[in-house]
Every structure is written in C-alpha cells, then in structure tokens.
Homo-oligomer: A and B are copies of this chain.
C-alpha cells in the first residue's frame, strides 16, 4: 500500500463550533472534572493573515482547549465572518467541525492533498505555526485540519 499522504496518521485534535464558549467550557469542565481552561481569541488579520475561500477575512474566533492526553478537544466560538466556523455554526448550530493532523510542510501538503479531492477552505497563521482547513465533508465525512507548529 502507498504511504500516508499526511506523513503520519495521528489525530491531534477534534474541534467543535459552539454558540457560547463560556457555557461550553463550564459544561466540559464539570463533565471531565478539570479546571476550566482559559479562553483565547485568535489573532487579528495583521498577524493571522487569515484567508477564507482564497480571500482575506477579518473573522476571528474564541478558542479553548481541553488536553485529554491522546488528543485535544478544541472549542470554537466564531467572531465575525466569513469563516468556516461561522458557516457551520449558522447552518448547524453547535456541532463537531474538524479533526486535525499535525504535518510538516504546509504548502506541500495542501498541494498533495488536493489530489485526494481535499480543497482548501481556510488558512491562517498563529504565533508559532499555521493551519489549513480542507473540505473533506462530502468525500471523507469531515473537515480535515492541517496543523504545522514551528
């Protein structure tokens, strides 16, 4: 069989969009019996250089992460639009959004994965890394996120 087009097959993260991240963080904290994590806001455009459907977007999001050892749960409350987060929250309400794989070499992977029918939906930068969301819903059943940490 051919080797993985991702470089590795370890799911790092499962992400979900939520209507109210404060309430969702409290609910998960109580369920898991852990302290509530802090809630961060994604960088503004000057740092994020966020692009949605190939165009710059001012959209941001509030984020919180629960480290469950094997994987991280990411809670996402969209701020502004357009973004893949806001699209899904508007269409479906609070719901699972993506599974994320860590990769090395973002542009090469985006190019390679296009051959699998995975089109680029949104990408951006954060302090120490970058992300891309690929539209795998029809063919793979989920948005696939690529995460590259420097």
Q: Using a CB-CB cutoff of 8 Å, which residues 87-119 of chain A contact chain B?
A: 91-99, 113, 116-118
Does A65 make an interface contact (CB < 8 A)? no
Does A120 make an interface contact (CB < 8 A)? no
Partner of A34, one of B1, B35, B91: B1
Q: Which of A6, A99, A117 counts the most chain B CB atoms within 10 A?
A: A99
**Chain A residues bordering chain B, tally (CB within 8 A):** 50
> CB distance A17 to B68 under 8 Å?
no
Does A127 make an interface contact (CB < 8 A)? no
Partner of A139, one of B4, B27, B29: B27
Can you list 10 A-B pairs, Cβ within 8 angstroms, ordered by A? A1-B34, A1-B35, A9-B32, A11-B68, A18-B141, A24-B140, A73-B99, A92-B92, A96-B96, A96-B141
